[in-house]
Amino acid sequence: MTITEEPQTGNREVGKDRRRKEDQRLITGRTKWTDNLQMTGMLHLSMVRSPFAHATITNIDTSEAKAAPGVIAVLTGADVKDLQGSLPNAWPVTPEQKAPPHPAIAVDRVAFSGEIVACVIARSAAAARDAAELVDVDYDELPAVIDLKAAAADEVLAHPELGTNESALWIFDSAEAGTGEDVEAAIRDAEVLIEREFRQQRLIPSFMEPRSVVVDPTGEQFVMWSSTQVPHILRLMLALTLGVPESKVRVIAPDVGGGFGGKLQVTPEEVITFLAARHTGKPCKWNETRSESLLSAHHGRDQWQKLTLAAKKDGTVTGLKVHLTANMGAYLGLVTSGVPVLGAFMFNAIYKFPSYRFECQNVFTNLTWTDAYRGAGRPEATFAIERMMDELAIELGRDPLEVREQNWIKHEEFPFTTVAGLEYDTGNYEAATARAKELFGYDELRAEQAARRESGDRIQLGIGVSTFTEMCGLAPSRVLGSLAYGAGGWEHASVRMLPSGKVEVITGSSAHGQGHETAWSQIVADELGVPFEDIEVLHGDTQISHKGLDTYGSRSLVVGGQAVIKAARKVVEKAKPLAADALEANVDDLEFSGGRFTVKGAGEGQEGVAITDLALRVFAAHDLPDGVEPGLDADATYDPVNFSYPHGTHLCAMEIDTETGESTMRSYVCVDDVGTVVNPLIVDGQIHGGLVQGIAQALWEEAVYDDQGTLITGSFVDYTLPTSADTISFVTDRTVTPSTTNDLGAKGVGEAGTIASTPAVVNAVLDALRQYGVTDILMPCTPERVWNAIQSGKGDQ
Ligand code: MCN
């Protein structure tokens, strides 16, 4: 349920509740998912995966599999040896970062359960799967390191050749950086000291469409279709990995059924499918099963977080010290090592802490590799600091919102440079919080909570608070490049007015569920004054969109959308000499509005000339004024100078059955500020989906391994993915403080709900349990954990 009546937009498209253009084909399935592709002579792949977390491969016998019906070939690590170690490692976060070689197919050692040891290529998917069972692999098990803390202590090594499990140690210290004071002094002088350790459990980004790859080697180029978030990055990495010129590789991300960061990757399976196609000369397809996806697509979160917060008795926070131990799993993917490091900028959140130190220890284990999962680095930080602010409020016997307000940046203090060195451009935490409190009925619920406590009701009420901001709109290149060597963050767009007056927009942002075709059409409709329906948005094909940096980090609108605006404005500029010629006026005397050029001061009622009418003339080109080139089209790139900083206040009420430990959500209110909204319907959808994922971390989801490193939650029977039936109707509203980094004034929204909601829920659960002496609880807060916590009178840590 959304409260805000969006302001009337008049003729403007931006701000309109447009239904998504792409939904008709997505919802009816009338689209080409990668797995729908069929080609003559197409071969199918099935991967043989290690059942062991750490083992030496002593022998692989493929003879029986090779002789099986329909089998064309079986590839092992030995067959693709020249590629060993060349699967892209993460952009390093320190120059000294340690990383093992990441073979597409393991050669003589496997480092996690699920690692590929062989690939069967056959005429049908069934034949490939059957033959994969016949590949006989002998392993000698090696000691495996499964527990993150044991790994940090180097008790057993995940990759013995590295001599340590530590991949990188990344430190930020405000005193050293000159952005603040010395945190050790703040801790020494603290009147109140809060020390806590939190666990971010391992999560699995469970996109709707499993990963799927097709490679066709039969033409002039290798054409890869992949269910990926990053077609441009994938093409570059394939070219670098396989030594093929980029011009010979075309990557197409057709409609992609979700990613949530889980498809921000270059996977061994993509490399192997490419190799199989090159080896056989035939189109090859690999399509994963859901179990394979849960086991071997990269996982998310998985950290231990140690925090020390120093404060005065009056509630003013004077410093924060953070030590993270982050689980890389067995290998580094594209941004594995960068994800926890992003937290460096977010633990101070919306607050004005004068001193801050952040240490991040990236550690290898023999588990599936981790990488981005919706929010990536920011949900972890937000959870920890929002838990700490609650602990401070409890310690001082004060209301949690009041303590937050005392410490947060006031709206008149923006722009504000934080202790972590970021410049927050705009925000109004007071306004969002006031609106959230009002919609939630904060005071009434507190009164009900007190009454239930008083009466000893079996159902106790907990109220949880989470105020948050995030750095998103990933760009600027200069900042990203200084964090992870080699990374960048611009975006590209082309806008072409076709001779018929219809418009083609080509964008480097590659949507996988975010509705860019609709939002970009709205933007261009306003810029060029053409009908929304006349605009077509093309993306996700490196042959069409030849430049781009793809979709993640809630960057597409604020970076890619701004590139679209820039390109559209160039088109208008390009049309000006033609309009001046047609209107017999000077270029400088022209105005452009609602798709028409008119002459300034020529009075009301002049017809002017429509830009769409100029499109055919500029195409035909026989009577162009001097210096005007044929075609009304333009390219633009955009690389902003700053991140965008959405924020919000989320309030959650949880009812806890104290006899069963069952937690039921009673109400959830969030007031988010994502700056100017292009499409309120899309924004609501993004917030709703994000909330469910964040709530799921708090209550349901966890990837669980046994002591041997075998994934126990290997199917949706055990990995509790929520459905809409598990959630309530959320109350959402918005405040608007426009961003300064783009002409729209927009801030990113794609991760906001996930980042804010987890601490709101856990704070609510704990708020109900504190009366029993419970001070902490592990996520997910399952009925068993809640019940045990009540029984033991303390958390189960
Ligand atoms: N939008 C808007 N007004 C704003 C901000 C955004 O109308 N002020 C619209 C945009 O035009 C876009 C959508 O909201 O259509 C999301 O925009 P943005 O915040 O720029 O995020 P991205 O498009 O870059 O998407 C990435 C983000 C991330 S990082 C994850 S993870 C995520 C998410 O988007 N994964 C998703 N949302 C998802 N939604 C779906 N359906 N599936 C996923 O896998």
Same domain membership, residue 335 and residue 290: no
Q: Using the atom order of ligand 1, give the atom closest to the CA of residue 557.
A: 20
- For the record, the structure tokens of 728 come out as 């309530």
199: CA distance to ligand 1 center in Å?
A: 27
392 lines ligand 1 (CB under 6 A): no
Rounded mean pLDDT of the chain? 94
Candidate of 557, 736, 755 to mutate for ligand 1, largest count of ligand atoms within 8 Å of Cβ: 557
In the chain, how many domains are there?
A: 3
The answer on 343 and 397 residing in a single domain is yes
The mean per-residue pLDDT over the stretch 301-329 comes to: 98
CB of 690 closer than 6 A to ligand 1? no
Query: Is 587 within the bounds of a domain?
Result: yes
At 797 the pLDDT is 45
Q: Tell whether 150 is covered by a domain.
A: no
- Ligand 1 centroid–CA 22 distance in Å is 14
Is residue 271 located within the same domain as residue 324? no
285 and 429 in a single domain? The answer is: no
pLDDT tens for each residue of 228-282: 999 999 999 999 888 899 999 999 999 999 999 999 999 999 999 999 999 999 9
pLDDT, tens digit (0-9, with 9 covering 90-100), for 76-119: 999 887 765 567 666 789 989 999 999 999 999 999 999 999 99
The answer as to whether 13 is a domain residue is no
Q: Ligand 1: does its nearest atom lie under 6 Å from the Cβ of 521?
A: no
In this structure, the answer to whether residues 369 and 431 fall within a common structural domain is yes
How far is Cα 507 from Cα 474, in angstroms, rounded to an integer? Answer: 16
ipTM: 0.99
- Same domain? For 678 and 648 the reply is yes
Q: Do 646 and 691 sit in the same domain of this protein? A: yes
Asked if residue 423 belongs to a domain, the reply is yes
Same domain assignment for residues 502 and 441: no
**What is the 796 CA–ligand 1 centroid distance (Å)?**
36
In sequence order, what are the residues at sequence separation of 6 or more whose Cβ sits closer than 8 angstroms to the Cβ of residue 202? Answer: 299, 300, 301, 302, 327, 367, 370, 702, 703
Q: Which residues contact 454 (CB under 8 A, 6 or more apart)?
A: none
- In tens, the pLDDT along 557-567 reads 999 999 999 99
- Does 242 share its domain with 349? no
DSSP 725-772: GGS---EEEE-----SSSTT-B---TTHHHHHHHHHHHHHHHHHHGGG
- Single out the residue in 600, 615, 638 at which a domain terminates: 638
CB of 682 sitting under 6 A from ligand 1: yes
Q: What atom in ligand 1 is closest to the CA of residue 258?
A: 44
Which of residues 587, 620, 638 is at a domain's end? 638
Residue predicted with more confidence, 57 or 484: 57
Asked whether residue 155 is domain-assigned, the answer is no
Q: Which residues contact 672 (CB under 8 A, 6 or more apart)?
A: 432, 646, 647, 648, 687, 732, 733, 734, 735, 749, 752, 753, 756
pLDDT of 535 over the 90 cut: yes
Please check whether residues 618 and 546 belong to one and the same domain.
yes
- Of the listed ranges 214-228, 253-267, 621-635, the least confidently predicted one is 621-635
What is the atom index within ligand 1 of the atom nearest the CA of 676? 8
What residues have CB less than 8 Å from 36, skipping those under 6 apart?
none
Asked whether residue 244 falls in the same domain as residue 361, the answer is no
CA distance 122 to 138: 23
How confident is the model over 487-534, as pLDDT tens digits?
A: 778 999 999 999 999 999 999 999 999 999 999 999 999 999 999 999
Beta strand extents in 151-299 (DSSP E only): 166-173, 192-203, 212-216, 222-226, 249-252, 284-287
Other C-beta atoms lying within 10 Å of the C-beta of residue 287:
22
For residue 281, the domain's CATH number is 3.90.1170.50
Q: Give yes or no: residues 402 and 536 share one domain.
A: no
Q: What is the pTM of this model?
A: 0.96
**CA nearest to 75, candidates 226, 282, 277, 298:** 277
| Residue range(s) defining the domain that contains residue 239 | 34-142+208-258+263-296
| Residue 104 CB neighbour total at 10 angstroms | 25
What's residue 213's pLDDT? Answer: 98
What are 770-785's pLDDT values in tens digits? 999 999 999 999 999 9
CATH number, domain of 622, equals 3.30.365.10
pLDDT at 796 over 60: no
SS3 call for 121: strand
Q: What is the mean pLDDT of residues 441-458?
A: 96
- For 661-713, the pLDDT digits (tens) are 999 999 999 999 999 999 999 999 999 999 999 999 999 999 999 999 999 99
